[in-house]
Structure 1
Amino acid sequence: MSPQEKEAVDAFRRDVVEPSMTSLVVIDFWAEWCGPCKALTPVLEKVTADYTSKGVMLAKVDVDANQFIAAQFQVRSIPTVYAMFQGQLVADLTSARTESQLRTMLDQILRQLPVQSEDSAAEAELEPLIAMGEQILAEGDHERALSVFEQIAEMAPEHPQVAAGRARALIGLGRADEAEAVLAALPEEAAKGPEIERARAALALAREATPVEDLSELEAKAATGDMEARYELAGARMASDRDAAAATLLAMIAEDRDWNEGAARARLLTLFEAVGLEDPWVSAQRRKLSAILFG
């Protein structure tokens, strides 16, 4: 190996291989005389710049000035574009000539590799804070939970879990309109997650629930078998006693699952969504529902 080749190898190790230990390095083999290279360069620069926070960087290798390096990678035509992670080539990106194609390929790669990024670091920082807010929310302290989620929102205003937590805290405080505004302000992509669906279900439940100070008259009417009264009683109970609300709705479904176009089942499913489909309480109630429907 000549001194020039050794210098090129050292530079490649420093500028490409070492950064690839934690980042995904897009390597662009190009030359000044190459027309297609000049057309591709702006695409590579724009997309990799947009993906910087995801742990992606661009390294350009002039094949005329680095013939030894190009030979090691068996570059036979240019432009040739590879992706390297932890010192290993993980993908050939040469076929991606448009922004859309390149983004699609990078997204696929990033889903499969433990690339360190600003986004993942920020997510790791947020996780314990979100968990704390959720715990406070589960304990029923909606005022304190709202304060926690609003503080987290200053760090990540469009994070779906944070927005969902804020919305559910506001719902618990009887501020449904504000909760709706929080959810409506989310970008389209962020608004598709299950946590947002749960918050929307909680909002729908809050709109449906009709708290009643004295349930005795409604309970007496429901005891006669009046389905409308039982439905209203379940709505009144949802605000404070989910066990009683679920029991009322399950009894209604067992008696007449088609009453009012399946209104009791629809309300029960909304309650499940609002509580959270992974919650053990929901799993227990689902088993009861299945026993009624399929037992």
Structure 2
Amino acid sequence: MPNRRQVILTAVVFAAGTMFAPASYAASKSGFVQSDFDAAKAAGKSILIEVTAPWCPTCKAQKPILSELTSDKKFKDLVIYEVDFDSQKDVLRRLNVRMQSTLITFKNGKETGRSTGDTNKASISRLLDKAI
């Protein structure tokens, strides 16, 4: 049975290893600001808009799927904007969004796909592929 020092040493080594692990290719993510979105769209960037609510179980189910998918290097240039369903009603109207857990992709300034309530990794991946 390992003694206390061995347990602590193992924990320290593990923590150090995770701190210096190679960076993932995670896409950049930020809160939605209309001017930033307009600039990214005008620049033809690949964009994902993620409409979420803290109380939404579907949104919670989407988060780890999106995190895993967007850590793939093919999505390294994907710009992700998170829109809060409860507090950003003006943005929801502009984007014609009626429900939380809505995902919208853009490429070259145009909407390329949209889904609501999807928690299937394969179909979310196909949606994200439309943005790159």
Corresponding position: 1:52 with 2:75: yes
Q: Deviations over 1:34-64 (max 9, x none)?
A: 11111111111221221333x3232111122
Deviation at 1:31, TM superposition (A): 1.0
Deviation at 1:80, TM superposition (A): 0.8
The equivalent of 2:90 in structure 1 is: 68
1 CA distance for matches of 2:87 and 2:66? 20
Q: Can you give the 5+ residue segments of structure 2 that lack an aligned partner in the other structure?
A: 1-30
The equivalent of 2:60 in structure 1 is: 38
Q: Can you give the 5+ residue segments of structure 1 that lack an aligned partner in the other structure?
A: 1-7, 116-295
**AA of the residue aligned to 1:52:** F
Corresponding position: 1:25 with 2:44: no
Q: Which has the greater radius of gyration?
A: 1
From the superposition, tell whether residues 27 and 38 of structure 1 become closer, same or farther in structure 2 (CA, over 3 Å): same
Corresponding position: 1:85 with 2:111: no
TM-score by structure 2 length? 0.62
Deviation at 1:96, TM superposition (A): 4.2
Deviation at 1:95, TM superposition (A): 5.9
Matching of residues 229-240 of structure 1 within 5 Å: none
Greater relative contact order structure (CA < 8 Å, 6+ sep): 2
Matching of residues 165-204 of structure 1 within 5 Å: none
Name the % identity: 21
**AA of the residue aligned to 1:102:** I
Corresponding position: 1:13 with 2:35: yes
**AA of the residue aligned to 1:35:** P
2 CA distance for matches of 1:96 and 1:36? 8
TM-score by structure 1 length? 0.30
Deviation at 1:69, TM superposition (A): 0.5
From the superposition, tell whether residues 72 and 22 of structure 1 become closer, same or farther in structure 2 (CA, over 3 Å): closer
Q: Deviations over 1:73-124 (max 9, x none)?
A: 22111211101224332211336422222223333x25xxxx5xxxxxxxxx
2 CA distance for matches of 1:94 and 1:76? 9
CA RMSD of aligned residues (A): 2.5
**Structure with the largest fraction of strand:** 2
The answer on whether the counterparts of 1:48 and 1:57 sit within 8 Å (CA) in structure 2 is no
Matching of residues 105-116 of structure 1 within 5 Å: 105-107=127-129, 109=130
Q: How many residues align?
A: 100
The answer on whether the counterparts of 1:26 and 1:81 sit within 8 Å (CA) in structure 2 is yes
2 CA distance for matches of 1:96 and 1:87? 24
**AA of the residue aligned to 1:71:** R
